[in-house]
Amino acid sequence: MELFSRIKAPKMLKLKSSTLKEINPGKEMLYNLSTGYGNVCQPVVKVGDMVEVSQVIGESSQGKSEKIYSTVSGKVLKIIDSPNNHGSRVPTIIIENDGEYKKQERQATQQVDYEIYIEALRKYSLTDTQGIKLYEKYKVDNPKDITSIIINASSWDINSLVLQYFINEKSVEIMEAVNIIKSIFVNASIFFVFNKKDGFDYDKLKSSQNVNIKLINKKYNHKMEKQLINEAIGNTSENKVLVDEIQSLLGIYSAVKLNEPVINEVITITDPEMNSLNYKVRVGTKISDIYEALKIKEEQIDKIARNGLISGQALIGASVPVTQGTESIAFIKYKKPESERACIRCGECVNVCPLNLYPIKLINYINKEDTQEFKKYRGDQCVECGLCSYVCPSRINLSSKIALGKSNILK
Ligand code: SF4
Ligand code: SF4
């Protein structure tokens, strides 16, 4: 990914404290009327209307009851077309924040069954960090058929510190969400899967009888669920296993238990010097309000990455708002590109590959056009995650070379 190849990679980060600073919401808040990938909602307010925190301002027109909520109180200033996280222009409501945060009160949910659960995930438009809708993820023919639910507790986003924060500080909310899930998927064992190297302190989670802890060697992203399931709990029928992440559990707690939309996100913000810290940011805050609050100048930023330097998205501008599901934002200043050097046989690329491939060997086979050996060493299975390139001290862009070679050699 271009984002990666031209920047100096940050060190793998470790959170030293549970510090959480806050970005004050801006004077104008933006709400894209789109929910993850797919549905675009229609405004249900008009210019000049006064709104409150948690008030519905947009609704899906396809009878699916996905909704968009205001996170501030104030006046609807404009309804325009503006870019969302994926770069599409969608209807967007701009609200003048009156700074009072008057809130629509809601009754907490008393009894939860499967229908109420799915409806809450849908009505609060919950997505995971990849933009996948949670109500689609948890929609099954019969919840009793699900035998395992895996919570992937190691982030693929290497400049994110939020998991460490959540595990340290939000274990009560996480356990509430686990108990809700367990009350619905009654036959499912719930596994929290940690990467051994992350060294997270998961003692608070261990105390619940509803939680099983698994330590694994690799990290897997959402495209590698099969491999994750295999390493975590062994071969099992995929359609009986659901996979989710810790970030989703906090959304589930808010939507299902409190009957409230997600108002704030905890986000790791990385500045152009690659210093990272966790911040509480109100959904709807403009990216430009964040960098101004942190006293970062526009000319210091070449690119803005959302949810990871390797597999995240490059935002198309600073007028994009923070949305639910945002885990990290990095303001990137390109360093002078480092030139590629010879392989020093350190083995880092082999250690990091989630599929146990041998990246540098694959490149040798590509160079020799040796299709047979390339296939024998499973080069065709490379998922182009970019991790091998990321860790390589010789700055060899292994992932791109394998991706290019794969398409040439396997023609
Ligand atoms: S890009 Fe391919 S070879 Fe490199 S780490 Fe990812 S899966 Fe392994
Ligand atoms: S990480 Fe880079 S230098 Fe190390 S073995 Fe792999 S290709 Fe060679």
Rounded distance, CA 75 to CA 94, Å? 9
Ligand nearest to the CA of 405: 1
Ligand nearest to the CA of 400: 1
3-state SS assignment for residue 65: coil
3-state SS assignment for residue 391: helix
Which range of 248-252, 340-344, 390-394 scores highest in mean pLDDT? It is 248-252
Ligand nearest to the CA of 353: 1
Kindly state the tokens that stand for 89.
């222009």
Which range of 100-109, 185-194, 375-384 scores highest in mean pLDDT? It is 185-194
Q: Distance from first CA to last CA of the chain, Å, rounded?
A: 23
- Type and span of the H or E element at 121: helix 114-123
Q: Among residues of the chain, what percentage have pLDDT more than 70?
A: 90
With a 6 A CB cut-off, is 364 part of the ligand 2 pocket? Answer: no
Torsion of CA 388, 392, 395, 396, to 10 degrees: -50
DSSP class of residue 286 equals: B
> For the segment 125-155, what is each residue's pLDDT rounded down to a tens digit?
898 888 888 999 999 999 999 999 999 988 7
pLDDT of amino acid 3: 42
With a 6 A CB cut-off, is 87 part of the ligand 2 pocket? Answer: no
With a 6 A CB cut-off, is 343 part of the ligand 2 pocket? Answer: yes
Strand order in the sheet with 313-315: 21-22, 276-282, 264-270, 328-332, 303-306, 313-315
Angle of CA points 269, 331, 390, to nearest 5°: 90
pLDDT of amino acid 116: 94
Q: Among residues of the chain, what percentage have pLDDT more than 90?
A: 47
Rounded distance, CA 215 to CA 377, Å? 27
Rounded distance, CA 196 to CA 215, Å? 6
Per-residue confidence at 64, pLDDT binned at 50, 70, 90? low
Candidate of 338, 341, 344, 364 to mutate for ligand 2, largest count of ligand atoms within 8 Å of Cβ: 344
> For the segment 77-132, what is each residue's pLDDT rounded down to a tens digit?
999 998 888 777 889 999 999 999 999 888 888 889 999 999 999 999 898 888 88
Q: What is the pTM of this model?
A: 0.80
